Structure 1
Amino acid sequence: MQLHTTLGPKKRNELGLILPHEHVFVDLRTPDKPGYAEADTDDVVRLMAPEIEAIKAQGVTALIECSTGGVGLRVDIDLAVSKATNFPIVVPTGNYREPWIPDWVATASEAELEKWMLGHLTEGVDDTGVIAAWIKVSAGDDGITPLETKILRAAARASAQTGALIGSHTIKGRVVLDQLDIIEAEGGSAGRFLSIHTQAEPDFGLHQAVFDRGAWLEIDNIGWVPDAENVALVVQSLEAGQGERLLLSHDRGWYDPAQAGGGTPKPYTHLVESFLPGLRHAGVDESTITRLTHDNPFAAFAR
C-alpha cells in the first residue's frame, strides 16, 4: 500500500503521525461569488508554512487536506506549501454539498463525474501532477439530496475502480447509513468510507451502527471543545471496539481568501500538545495511541 502525497507516494515505514482532517486553504463562499478561491500563492505560503513547521517540530509527518471542490480546493497551493516546507500533504478529489456545487458539477452526468474523479485519482489533479489520494464529498444535514446522491454514485464507482477512500462531511448518523447503502449499490465498499465529524452525531448507537457496517469513524473537533469531552468519547469508542477504524484530528487551519491577509489560522498543534497527554492520563496505552494516530490514518487513506 502507498499513500499519494504532494511529495509523491509514501509507504507506511516512511511516515509516522498523520493528521487526517485539516485544511491549508478554504473558501466557504459559494463558487459563484466574486474572487472565489483566489489568492496569491506566496501569501498563502507565508501564512501557512509556519503552521506546518510547528507540527513538523512535534513529529507530525503528513497532513490530509480536506478542502474539496466547492469549498476552494487549490492543489497548486497545497503543492507550493508542501514544497516550501518539505512536508507531504494528501489531497482529495470530489465535491462538497449544496449550495457549494459549481454549475458544471450540477449539470454533469454521473459518468462524466466518475471520469473526472478517476483522472484525479490516477493521473493527477488539473495540471499539478499531484495524484489525489481520496474522494471528499458531503451530504445535507437533513438528508442527502438528489444532486449530492449523483456525486456520491460517481464517487462510489471511482472508489470501486481504484480502492480510494470516500470521506464525507455528514452530520447525522442515519444519513451516513443512507450513504453506505448508495455506495454499496454502486459496487463500492463500506470499508472504503470515512464518516467525517462522527462526534456531531449525539447518538453513540449510530456511531456503532456505522462502524458495524465496516466504515471508518473520525473525531475531528479536537481543540474546538474541552479535551475532557473528546477524551471521554475516544475512551467510549475504544471500549466499544472501534479503535481499529478510528481517526483523530482538529479540522483546523487555514488561509481564507475571504479574509484580509487570509485571516488568522488556528494551529494544528493541539492534538500532540494537549489531547494525547489527556488520553495517556485516561489510561490509553502507547500502542493504542500509535494505532489511532499513525497506523489508522495511513490505512484509511492509502491504496
Structure 2
Amino acid sequence: MAVLHTTLGPLAEQDCGLVLPHEHLVVDFRTPDEQPADALDVEEVVATMAPALADAGAAGVTVLVECTPPGLGRRADVLAAVSRAAGVPVVFATGVYREPWVPGWVYDASDTDLEEFMTRELTGGVDGTGVPAGFIKVSAGDDGLRPVEERVLRAAARAAVRTGALVGSHTADGRVVLQQIAVAAAEGLPPGRFLSIHTQLTADAGLRQAVVDAGAWIEYDHVGQGDDAAALRLVLDSLEAGHEDRLLVSHDAGWYDPALPGGGPRRPFTTLTGTFLPALREAGVPQQTVDVLTRRNPFRAFAR
C-alpha cells in the first residue's frame, strides 16, 4: 500500500485530504560554510512557525510538504517539533541543492556514497528523528547541469528507483528540466517519478508541454506571491491543455530565516484554501477537478 511518510507517521490515501506540495518552515540561504551550528533557537522557531502551520490545518490542510533540502539549513528535529506543536503532518526532503549551496562533503563523496545517503534518509529516518524523508529534492541552474549537480541527480535517481521515491527539482528553465529527466531516465527513473518544481517560471508554454509529454509532474507554486490572477490563468490554461493529472499547486510560502532578525517576514499557508480555490471554482472548475489538483495528485506524486 502506498503511503506518505510524515512527521506524524505514515499516511494512506484515505488519511489525507488537501496536501500542500511545496512549502517551507525553515530556510537558510547562507551557504553551508556560512551557516553557524547554533543558527536556530528551536523554541523561537516553534513559537513562530507552529501557529502558521496550525492555521493551515484549521483551513483544511492535512499534510504540508517541507521542501528544504540539505544545504539550505534543513533541521529535521526543528521541523518535527513544529509539526508536533501544530498537529499537522509534515513531509521531509532529502537530496542536495545546487551550487553554491552544495555541502562540502558532497564533493568528496563517491557516487555510491551519495546514493546511500539519500537511501538511508528515505528508509531509516533523518538526523535521528526516526522520520523517513518523503522525497528527494535536487536543483540546477538555468545554464545547465554542473558536474556535481549531475552526480547528485544520478545518485538521486538511483536512490529513487530503490525506494520508489519522487525526485523533485528546483529548476526554472524547461530545457534544463528536460535534460534532467533524460539523465534520470538513463539511471532507470520513470519520468512519472520526476517533478518539475517552479514550472511557472518556464515562460515557454511549449517547454511546459514537453515536460508533461515526457510523463513528468509540473508544479505551479506561486499562489499568494503577488499576482494570483496570473496564477489562476496559468492553472486554467494548463487544465485546458489537458494537464489535470500531472499538475500540482502550492504557495512556496513560509518561512523562518535564521539569518534575519526574528526569522524575517513570512507568508501564510492559507491563500490557496482561502481565496485561490474559490476563484478556481468561480471560474467554472468543478470540485472534482479541484480535488484532483489538491488531494489525489499530491498523494500520487509523493506517496511510495
**Which bracket does the TM-score occupy, shorter chain normalised?**
over 0.9
CA distance in 2, matches of 1:285, 1:266: 28
Separation in 2 of the partners of 1:203 and 1:196? Answer: 15
2:64 maps to which residue?
63
Match of 1:258 in 2: 259
The answer to whether the 8 A contact 1:30-1:36 is kept is no
Q: What's the CA shift string for 1:90-110, capped at 9, x where partnerless?
A: 001001000000110122111
CA contact (8 A) 1:37 1:257 kept: no
Paired residue total:
303
Match of 1:148 in 2: 149
1:244-255 to 2 correspondence within 5 Å? 244-255=245-256
Displacement of 1:187 in angstroms is 1.1
Contact in 1 for aligned 2:35/2:73 (Cα 8 Å): no
201 and 187 in structure 1: CA distance in 2 versus 1, 3 angstrom threshold:
same
Deviations 1:173-218 (A, max 9, x none): 0000000110011111111000000000100111110001110000
Match of 1:121 in 2: 122
TM-score (norm 2): 0.98
**2:287 corresponds to:** 286
1:65-84 mapped onto 2 (5 Å cutoff): 65-84=66-85
Aligned twin of 1:18: 19
Partner of 1:184: 185
Please name the residue that 2:221 is paired with.
Answer: 220
- Is 1:51 the counterpart of 2:52? The answer is yes
Residue pair 1:256, 1:263 contacting (<8 A) in 2 also? yes
Corresponding position of 1:160: 161
SS at match of 1:143: coil
The aligned counterpart of 1:195 is 196
Q: Tell me, in whole angstroms, the C-alpha distance in 2 between the residues paired with 1:86 and 1:268.
A: 15
Q: Shift of residue 70 of structure 1?
A: 0.8
| 2:76 aligned partner, one-letter code | V
Corresponding residue number in structure 2 for 1:233: 234
Q: Could you tell me which amino acid in structure 1 is paired with residue 65 of structure 2?
A: I
CA distance in 1, matches of 2:141, 2:234: 24
What is the aligned-residue RMSD (CA, Å)? 1.0
CA contact (8 A) 2:54 2:87 kept: no
Listed as ranges, the gaps of 5+ residues in structure 2 are none
Deviations along 1:110-155, whole A, 9 cap, x unmatched? 1100000000011111211010010000011211111100000000
- Tell me if structure 2 keeps the 8 A contact 1:27–1:37: no
Retained in 2: the 8 A contact 1:51–1:268?
yes
* Percent of aligned pairs with the same amino acid: 56
Runs of 4+ in 1 over 2 A off after TM superposition: none
* Structure 2 counterpart SS, 1:151: helix
Q: Distance between the aligned counterparts of 1:34 and 1:222, measured in 2?
A: 29
C-alpha deviation, 1:34, in angstroms? 4.5
CA drift of 1:36 comes to 6.0
C-alpha deviation, 1:37, in angstroms: 7.2
CA distance in 1 between counterparts of 2:88 and 2:56 reads: 10
Check whether the contact 1:62–1:90 (CA below 8 A) recurs between aligned residues: yes
SS at match of 1:28: coil
- Secondary structure of 1:167 counterpart: strand
C-alpha displacement of 1:277:
1.3
Secondary structure (helix, strand or coil) at the match of 1:9 reads strand
SS state of the match for residue 137, structure 2? strand
Residue equivalent to 2:277: 276
Structure 1 position 225, deviation (Å) = 3.0
Q: How far, CA to CA, are the matches of 2:291 and 2:73 in structure 1? A: 32
**CA offset at residue 10 of structure 1?**
0.3
What residue identity is the alignment partner of 2:205?
F
TM-score by length of 1: 0.98
Shift of 1:82: 1.0
> SS where residue 29 of structure 1 aligns?
coil
Say if 1:2 and 1:210 are closer, same or farther in 2 by CA, change over 3 A.
Answer: same
CA separation of 1:75 and 1:29: change in aligned 2, threshold 3 A: same
Output one character per residue of 1:63-83: Cα deviation in whole Å (capped at 9) or x when no partner: 000000111111111100111
Secondary structure at 2:210 match in 1: helix
